[in-house]
Chains A and B, each alone.
Chain A
Amino acid sequence: MSIKAQFNERLKNELGRKLLSSPVTYRLAREIFVRKGNFAFEAKKKMTAMALEQAAEAYQKKRPVAWTSAFFPTEMLYFFDLIPFAPEVAAGTSAALELSPRLIRHAESMGLSADSCSFHRCAAAGTDLDYFPHPDFLMASAHLCDGAPHLFQYMARRSRKPLYLLDVPAGDDDRALHYVADQLAEIASDLEKKRGIKLTDDRIAAVFEASNRARHFRIEVENLRTEVPAPLNGTEGLAYIYLTLLGQGHPETAAIYETLTGELKEVVKKNRVETVKMDHERYRLIWLHLRPYYSSDLISYLENELKMVIAAEEMNLVHWPPLDPEKPFISLARRVILHPGLGPIERRLKFIIKNYHRYRAHGVIHFSHWGCRQSVGSILFLKKELQKRNIPFLAVDGDCIDGTSFPWGQVLTRIDSFYEIMEELYA
């Protein structure tokens, strides 16, 4: 049995909860997986170390912990020296560690509908079973989905800790901008009191500098990924979503993207001098939404068997201008309201088409996570609109967390037919 398998096996028994809640586990995992693991890129190794360190710090409660939902601007946490913990990310980890079936069953016994997002069902169950580091604050945003802020209300009732909710409108005009900025200012002013930390210009400048530097290297990474063949595939690329969710404003995030930029430059250089360089890339894809977090052959089948390489992931792309330390809340609010997944669907459609061309892609795949109303609700519209523009589109029905309800056979058939369409179109 491999070390990883042994580790997973341990977690499933009653010791599992204790093991998971111990900072020692994460430090140990860092030793085992980071030092000894095989990483194609140094950047990913650094990111894994950062994630494990953040988890260890949260369980150790070195400083107060803030639970955040996806896309809540984490700069707000770093302003006040809070340790971020994302229950939705923890749900993803629980799937990778094969704990999610137990959590999903527990969520059902709590009365939470099986129709809701499985990220959220696992996160609710993890809260109820006391799997997570105890929060001092909770922060959730209505960015994309209806579920997250309400899940956080449930968690706040359980933990009896202050909850900050960010109401994000569908519009992107000045009124919407100020509505969001005012809420952020109010949250900051309350955190100043509760943390006893004054939000000085220096603090803002330091956090924004880290955030902007990360943004700068992210754009460099994006530009490098437009190269044919792709210097970074989706198997690797999809992992960096962690930094979007928990790393914005953290100096290590900028360092990771800087490392990745350097590494990708090398790959591009090497690819340029190699003669048979298209061997591993027959078609290029834009990937929408997330991926399965349990062990699944989906991405490797696409990339390694069919040579359909993911050139870019919707969730990783920079959509906002640099943050201005002179206007901290307006800047953060701008990033919030400019999210392409917000508001009328044309915004997302435009973003997809723009990146389809930018990355010289041949098709678009949407991983349709069953419980996600936000992303799944628009697939039929997207399909029609993309087909009108002769952009091949495939929606793969699945679930990011619960691998049991979606037969791999059916998924395979659909992917194979999509591949055939590509062959007809481009071969």
Chain B
Amino acid sequence: MRNKSNKKVGWLCTYTPEEIIHAAGFTPVRLLPGSGAFTEGSEDLLPPNICPYPRRILSTLRSGILQNMEGVVVANSCNAMLHLYNVLRTAGDFFVYLLDVPRKLNDQAVDYFTGELIRLADYLGGRGQPVTAETLASSLSLYRERAKYLQKLTDLQCYDLLLSAFPSGYHELAVEASGLSPEIFTAKLKRLVEKYSSGCRTQQDNRSLILFAGGLISDSLSRMLDGRRELIVYPENCSGMRYLLKKTPFVNPDRPATAGELYRAISRACLEKPPCPRIFNTSTREKYFRNLLDTMPVKGVIYHDLIFCDLCHYDYLLLQDLLAGTGIPLLKVKTELGEEDSGQLQTRVEAFLEIVSQEEQ
């Protein structure tokens, strides 16, 4: 099935299943903070001591910048998102749906989330096209195809190939992937990978890697690390790898699955994606970080402790503990997702990279 609709449905949190939005006949588009000092128009709805991500999205939606937005699916991923849901309903002429996302990863959580996904599909189906086992399977196949190419491009050995098309690296790849219809984006990736498959190294890439961890980042923060081909910048955040490495369930064409089976598979895949700091199981995020540190040539870590994100604030303590005694330098940066402090920040980031490169010599 090809989704020709240009009716868009916005989403924010990477625990949101794009496949279901797509199967209901909409183009899922992630609402990201972008850049610029744009929180105007949100002051009367959200107070300034709430995470800037929802505040920025609220301004953007309210100002009508995003055209053809039929609605927004807000995942209940944190307090800030719930508050966004509360006020977004009063902010424009589009529907707003609250998707409850568990914080645990066990079978009960998968069950609970499966029920939530069925409710979401019913709701969206009523506004777009009914979601059936067939439409869902076909959307899943499309996303699986996209995941196949994303996997190729997220292989560290293909970093140069990635940069040839996405100069800002993984961040740019994730922004584009989440903003375009899977049909268009997969076609672009396919052309790139097939044409330049020789752009990948056959041997281990021994460039240093900077792990960019923590809260999602703005385009301007990402740009600070642009153009450094001597480094691999690995944004583990949700505007980077935690989105790009999300799995899509496999649909066996020889044995058509029931809708119930598909919802359950999507539920599991969403909850088992690379974990965000909101996840509850103490060891999940710890194991994930350990794995990144053990399997990649991490030479330095920059942690984005996004202002007013409690989840980041505690996640930072975890990473700090894990890095203690490893000799890997750690830099904490705090932003409001805008251009505000970019001058000073740039200086700190450069000084840090300097230290990293000196330690290597």
Whether A111 touches B317, Cβ cut-off 8 Å, given contacts A167-B109, A170-B100, is: yes
Assess the B282–A163 pair: CB atoms within 8 A: yes
Whether A153 touches B45, Cβ cut-off 8 Å, given contacts A146-B78, A183-B108, A377-B83, is: no
Contacts of B277 in A (CB 8 A): 150
A110 at the B interface (CB under 8 A) = yes
How many residue pairs between the two chains, A and B, have CB atoms under 8 Å in the bound complex? 131
A156 at the B interface (CB under 8 A) = yes
Whether A381 touches B86, Cβ cut-off 8 Å, given contacts A113-B305, A157-B321, is: yes
Assess the A170–B316 pair: CB atoms within 8 A: no
Assess the B318–A146 pair: CB atoms within 8 A: no
Assess the B49–A376 pair: CB atoms within 8 A: yes
The contact of B313 among A112, A149, A374, A380, by CB within 8 Å, is A112
Rounded to whole angstroms, the CA-CA distance of A370 and B48 in the bound complex is: 10
B288 at the A interface (CB under 8 A) = no
B80 at the A interface (CB under 8 A) = yes
Minimum CB–CB distance from B282 to chain A (whole Å) comes to: 5
The contact of B318 among A157, A183, A377, by CB within 8 Å, is A157
B242 at the A interface (CB under 8 A) = no
Contacts of A167 in B (CB 8 A): 102-104, 109, 280
Assess the B102–A169 pair: CB atoms within 8 A: yes
Minimum CB–CB distance from A152 to chain B (whole Å) comes to: 9
Contacts of B282 in A (CB 8 A): 153, 156-157, 163, 165
A409 at the B interface (CB under 8 A) = no
Contact with B along A5-20 (1 / 0, CB 8 A): 0000000000000000
For chain B, residues 312 to 344, give those with C-beta under 8 angstroms from any C-beta of chain A.
312-318, 320-321, 332, 334
Assess the B315–A175 pair: CB atoms within 8 A: no
With most chain B CB atoms within 10 A of its CB, the pick from A175, A182, A371, A377 is: A377
The contact of B310 among A150, A176, A370, A376, by CB within 8 Å, is A150
A407 at the B interface (CB under 8 A) = no
Contacts of B278 in A (CB 8 A): 146
Contacts of A239 in B (CB 8 A): none
* B side interface size, CB within 8 A: 48
Whether A147 touches B310, Cβ cut-off 8 Å, given contacts A373-B50, A378-B86, is: yes
Assess the A379–B112 pair: CB atoms within 8 A: no
* CB-based nearest B residue for A395: B47
Whether A175 touches B83, Cβ cut-off 8 Å, given contacts A170-B98, A373-B50, is: no
Assess the B311–A146 pair: CB atoms within 8 A: yes
With most chain B CB atoms within 10 A of its CB, the pick from A110, A112, A117 is: A112
Assess the A381–B87 pair: CB atoms within 8 A: yes
Whether A179 touches B45, Cβ cut-off 8 Å, given contacts A146-B311, A373-B308, A378-B83, is: no
* CB-based nearest B residue for A140: B280
* CB-based nearest A residue for B104: A167
Assess the B108–A377 pair: CB atoms within 8 A: no
With most chain A CB atoms within 10 A of its CB, the pick from B51, B280, B282, B313 is: B313
Assess the B280–A165 pair: CB atoms within 8 A: yes
Assess the A373–B313 pair: CB atoms within 8 A: no
Rounded to whole angstroms, the CA-CA distance of A136 and B353 in the bound complex is: 43
Whether A179 touches B102, Cβ cut-off 8 Å, given contacts A146-B278, A373-B308, is: yes
A-B pairs with beta carbons under 8 Å apart, 21 shown: A110-B317, A111-B317, A116-B313, A116-B314, A146-B311, A150-B277, A150-B310, A154-B314, A157-B321, A165-B282, A167-B280, A169-B100, A345-B83, A371-B49, A373-B51, A373-B308, A374-B79, A376-B49, A377-B47, A377-B83, A381-B83
- Apart from A157-B318, A380-B44, what 7 extra A-B contacts exist at CB < 8 Å? A115-B307, A154-B317, A167-B102, A169-B76, A373-B308, A377-B86, A379-B47
Task: Give the A-binding residues of B (Cβ under 8 A).
Answer: 44-47, 49-51, 76, 78-80, 82-83, 85-87, 90, 98, 100, 102-104, 108-109, 111-112, 115, 277-278, 280-282, 305, 307-308, 310-318, 320-321, 332, 334
Task: Give the B-binding residues of A (Cβ under 8 A).
Answer: 110-113, 115-117, 124, 142, 145-147, 149-151, 153-154, 156-157, 163, 165, 167, 169-171, 175-176, 179, 182-183, 343-345, 368, 370-371, 373-374, 376-381
